[in-house]
Amino acid sequence: MKVLVVGGGGREHALVWKIAQSPLVTQIFCAPGNPGTTKLATNLPISVEEIDKLLGFAKSEGIGLTVVGPELPLSLGIVDLFQEYGLKIFGPSRAAARIEASKAFSKDLMKKYNIPTAAYGVFTEIAPALAFIRQTGAPIVVKADGLAAGKGVVVAATLQEAEEAVHEMLSGNAFGSAGSRVVIEEFLDGEEASFLAITDGKTVIPLASAQDHKAIFDGDQGPNTGGMGAYSPAPVVTPDVHDAAMAQIVQRAVDGMAAEGCPYRGILYAGLMVKNGQVKTLEFNARFGDPECQPLLMRMQSDLVPLLLAVADGDLSGKSIAWHDQAAVCVVMAASGYPGDYPKGDIITGIEAADALDGVTVFHAGTAEKDGMIVTNGGRVLGVTARENSVSAAISLAYQAVEKISWQGEQHRSDIGKKALER
């Protein structure tokens, strides 16, 4: 069977890497892919939003399964389009992808179906938004309603910060149309965890636990990013937390989406806040997390492809997932200036030396090839991922690999996985 993976980041490199291990797969294409995916797949010069071109390719090439990595093509309705032409595709429909594409839709769903989350308000006008902020007090969270590549969230420590965020989003166009409506919610403290599950709209199978590190600097300081590293398993997700997340959050969301007439098929990712064993929902994402995908797929023992096919066919019943007992850690190496403006085109050295370490895979994210060299081409450049017998051993191996790689101005956090060790 031929498989098409849509996307060009670290998550998609990890998906290609895992799909390539399946005996069911004869050939993989990746659109647009990156220099990492070229070793396992044929890259296509088609961007993720060109869904008509992707459809044309899938039809002409006889693609047996398309796997959608990022949220943008999901929100544009790529799944609906492919299904219209009888093509198998993994991911939620456009209507179901609103669970990520609109934070207001997501919060309203949580309220209606009794999914624990923070108190909130939805605003399109500045004056009532400011009134809500003053009434609630700081710290408080301001979110752009639409897709903002993981960056449309401001955790405001003061009322002034919150008010500035509202002005920037609603009148300053900080996130374009994504910020034309804002969700403002009470601040939840505790420890974050990523809880991912695969579902056909009825049956739900949880993936292994994981934890992301959103802030740019050590100790969770500085602005939010798309994610600076992740590890699995996450000790904060105790058996009780796992059961609560499944019953009160993920299952209720899947059942609620079905009741709303837009059954959810694909990966459902719940961002959790855990405090004193209690769980609340920060947000939902409609796809694999990036960088959580990298350590999760390194720990997954089962063949991923039969699971993806079962979801595309709408019947996941009877399926299960086996996991390696080992832990996996992904450290993101980013360009200088990220998550703000950053340079491109800096030559990267040492990838092959890092990749050669036993238990290490270097997943490309924002890279390009120029004159036979690998150069930087994005904010998050590489996801250096290691699997070892314990979290501490995986952390040590991942950073050993990071030390072998360099380019001008490279930055990374030095504390990925530290919270697991503290537990």
The alpha-carbon radius of gyration of the chain (Å, integer) is 20
Q: What is the pLDDT of residues 253-272, one digit of tens each?
A: 999 999 999 999 999 999 99
User: Are 166 and 277 within one domain?
Assistant: no
Residues 308 and 65: beta-carbon distance below 8 Å: yes
User: Are 201 and 160 within one domain?
Assistant: no
Question: Which helix (H) or strand (E) covers residue 331, if one does?
Answer: strand 327-334
End of a domain among 115, 148, 180? 180
In a domain? residue 408: yes
Q: Looking at this protein, which amino acid is placed at residue 258?
A: A
In a domain? residue 41: yes
CATH number of the domain encompassing residue 374: 3.90.600.10
User: Are 131 and 54 within one domain?
Assistant: no
Residues 316 and 199: beta-carbon distance below 8 Å: yes
pTM of structure: 0.94
- Domain extent, residue 222, equals 191-313
End of a domain among 256, 284, 313? 313
User: Are 230 and 298 within one domain?
Assistant: yes
CATH number of the domain encompassing residue 150: 3.30.1490.20
pLDDT confidence of residue 224: 85
User: Are 71 and 144 within one domain?
Assistant: no
Q: Is 70 exposed, middle or buried (0-12, 13-18, 19+ CB in 10 A)?
A: buried
In a domain? residue 138: yes
User: Are 70 and 144 within one domain?
Assistant: no
In a domain? residue 103: no
User: Are 288 and 379 within one domain?
Assistant: no
CATH number of the domain encompassing residue 29: 3.40.50.20
Question: Which helix (H) or strand (E) covers residue 19, if one does?
Answer: helix 10-19
CATH number of the domain encompassing residue 277: 3.30.470.20
Q: What is the pLDDT of residues 350-409, one digit of tens each?
A: 999 999 999 999 999 999 999 999 999 999 999 999 999 999 999 999 999 999 999 999
User: Are 298 and 378 within one domain?
Assistant: no
CB neighbourhood size of 392 (10 A): 14
Tokens of 111: 């309220």
User: Are 390 and 341 within one domain?
Assistant: yes
User: Are 237 and 215 within one domain?
Assistant: yes
In a domain? residue 119: no
User: Are 224 and 288 within one domain?
Assistant: yes
Query: How far apart, in whole angstroms, are the C-alpha atoms of residue 14 and residue 293?
Result: 7
Kindly report the CA angle at 34 between 29 and 37, in degrees rounded to 5? Answer: 50
Q: 10-residue block means of pLDDT along the chain (423 residues)?
A: 98 98 98 98 98 98 98 96 98 97 92 95 90 90 76 85 88 63 91 96 97 95 92 96 97 98 98 94 95 98 98 97 98 97 97 98 98 97 98 98 98 96 86
pLDDT confidence of residue 112: 97
In a domain? residue 186: no
| Residue 156 three-state SS | strand
Q: Is 221 exposed, middle or buried (0-12, 13-18, 19+ CB in 10 A)?
A: exposed
End of a domain among 180, 200, 217? 180
pLDDT confidence of residue 144: 86
pLDDT confidence of residue 148: 65
In a domain? residue 109: no
Query: How far apart, in whole angstroms, are the C-alpha atoms of residue 351 and residue 356?
Result: 9
pLDDT confidence of residue 54: 98
Based on the structure, what is the number of domains in the chain? 4
User: Are 309 and 344 within one domain?
Assistant: no
In a domain? residue 349: yes
One-character DSSP codes across 407-421: -TT-B--S-TTHHHH
